[in-house]
Amino acid sequence: MDRRRLPAGVQNFGEIREQNCYYVDKTAYIHRLATEGKHYFLSRPRRFGKSLLVDTIKELFEGNEPLFRGLAVHDRWDWARRHPVVRFSFAGGSFGRPGRLEADFADQLTELEDAADLQPRYTTPARRFAGLIKALRKQAGQRVVVLVDEYDRPIADALRDPRVAQENRDFLRGVYGMVKDCDADIRFSFFTGVSKFSKVSVFSDLNNLTDITLEPRFAAVCGYTENDMDTVFAPEMEGLDREAIRDWYNGYSWRGGREEQVYNPYGMLLFLQSREIRPYWFETGTPAFLPETLLERRVDPGALDGLVVGEADLAAFDILHVKTEALLFQTGYLTIVGEERGAAGNLYRLGHPNREVRSALNLALLTAMAPDVSAAAECSRLEQLLARHDFAGVERLLRAFFASVPYQWYVDNDMARHEGYYSAVFYSHFVGAGLDVVAEESTSRGRSDLVVRHPEGVWVFELKGRGDAGDALAQIERKGYAEKYRHLGLPVHRVGVAFSEQSRNIRAFEVQSA
């Protein structure tokens, strides 16, 4: 198979097809949607190919047949029927201030009206939208396709200002409600976004949407499967460590089974360009409100793997209360790793999809705690210190981090009183370094606070808010926490750490090696 261009960052279907880029064929999914239903909603994390999917739908309904030659949908589509398409995107706007959304929506309406050589008959945004749909239907003689990309961005941008968020929500509710009012003039509608706000808050006037977010048949509608990597991208995979790639980048799941776990497409394309394992998805930017919210709620990062939630919990995303599980799931930091049917509906077990995401979240938490510290550089140094068994260096690095946390942060959060805070900082450093870390790992006689595994050794930590480092070491010995790892044939280091509420830092740090 010949090598092609890697379309990293390209969201235009026509460019991908015309420039001989690699393309993972998603058109069979679109054909199924178009023939089985009418109004759809899909939630996926950022940088997951939603915009490309929307653009592909646009080109299909507009009848651009040459772009689809050789794809699954080509021989099953009526190319003689071309539908007018109304497409809105809120991906590029900034909506945290009053009036920004109304102005942006009006500009997009004007562009659509000008492209169709239509004059608006109404002044209010919702009525202009409805008037545009009806005029396009009359002009083309075909029903209209409505596509909305990043439908939730105007609300998510304003979450720190509930008043603006509510105003944006109410505005969008009125606009989106027009899709139902114009149902007779619409052939197909598709809404995408990151957040799955409750229907009563945004789509109360559009209550006939089919939500395919957790529909197993559409689990791989966005993203790349393992089979895609073996077939479409086969020329790029030669000479690469497949196990390392899976560990770092695969694992997102929306109930499609193991074969339909997916890679984030943006991150994978960047990886294939550089052929170096790095946190590409994380480098595109973590939403600022995410780590801040987790810290405000005192969420233990070590307890996130294995959360069990109901389906309603994953959709409980609203302006005044966002459930932690929903926030992490919808933004892509947790995914479904198991499920079972309960008496009141499905129960889902959540976990980090891969090493990149797990590391990214913890780096973001460290950055939120100490903005003046480079968390990525700090964690890289930590990994090097562990590799050299430089325990004094590890102690100095962690002491320096605690000293860098602004005192206002402690005052606002009252965290220095909680042993879990210090444990979370340790955990986030080691996970941020990309290491294998287990919090509260069980043994036959108890649970160790933290275990870090490295090719050069195993570190068993016991952390004490009261008592001293000697007490912590004695507990590791007494309860045999280190014995579980003797069979690995690696040095096993027992580390006792004591903290001071007064200094808000490490009080004692002792290591015993064997």
Q: Where are the domains of the chain?
A: 25-214, 289-351, 370-513
Q: Which helix (H) or strand (E) holds 68?
A: none
d(CA 395, CA 466): 18
pLDDT of the residue at 447: 84
Q: Are 176 and 202 in contact (CB under 8 A)?
A: yes
For residue 57, which amino acid is it?
I
Q: Are 186 and 133 in contact (CB under 8 A)?
A: yes
Q: Are 90 and 108 in contact (CB under 8 A)?
A: no
d(CA 35, CA 39): 11
pLDDT tens-place string over residues 377-388: 999 999 999 989
d(CA 169, CA 197): 10
CATH 3.40.1350 fits 370-513, yes or no: yes
Residue entry with tokens 């002792």: 510
pLDDT of the residue at 350: 94
Strand order across the beta sheet in which 210-211 lies: 85-89, 144-149, 186-193, 39-43, 210-211
The β-bridge partners of 106 are none
d(CA 336, CA 323): 16
DSSP assignment, residue 349? E
pLDDT of the residue at 67: 98
Structure tokens at 158: 């304003």
Class of domain 25-214: alpha beta
Nearest residue to 271 (alpha-carbon basis) of 355, 388, 196, 350: 355
Phi, psi at 193, each rounded to 5° = -175, 180
pLDDT of the residue at 290: 81
Torsion (CA) 167, 168, 173, 174 in degrees, nearest 10: 70
pLDDT tens-place string over residues 138-162: 999 999 999 999 998 998 888 888 8
This prediction has a pTM of: 0.90
pLDDT of the residue at 281: 79
Cα angle at 64 between 61 and 67, to 5 degrees?
120
**pLDDT per 10-residue tile (average), the chain, 514 residues:** 89 96 98 97 93 98 98 97 97 90 96 95 93 97 97 87 90 91 96 76 75 94 96 96 95 90 95 91 70 83 87 72 85 92 83 92 88 88 92 94 77 61 88 88 76 91 87 90 87 92 89 86
d(CA 200, CA 198): 5
pLDDT of the residue at 319: 66
The β-bridge partners of 161 are none
The β-bridge partners of 457 are 454
Structure tokens at 339: 């499920």
Phi, psi at 71, each rounded to 5° = -100, 165
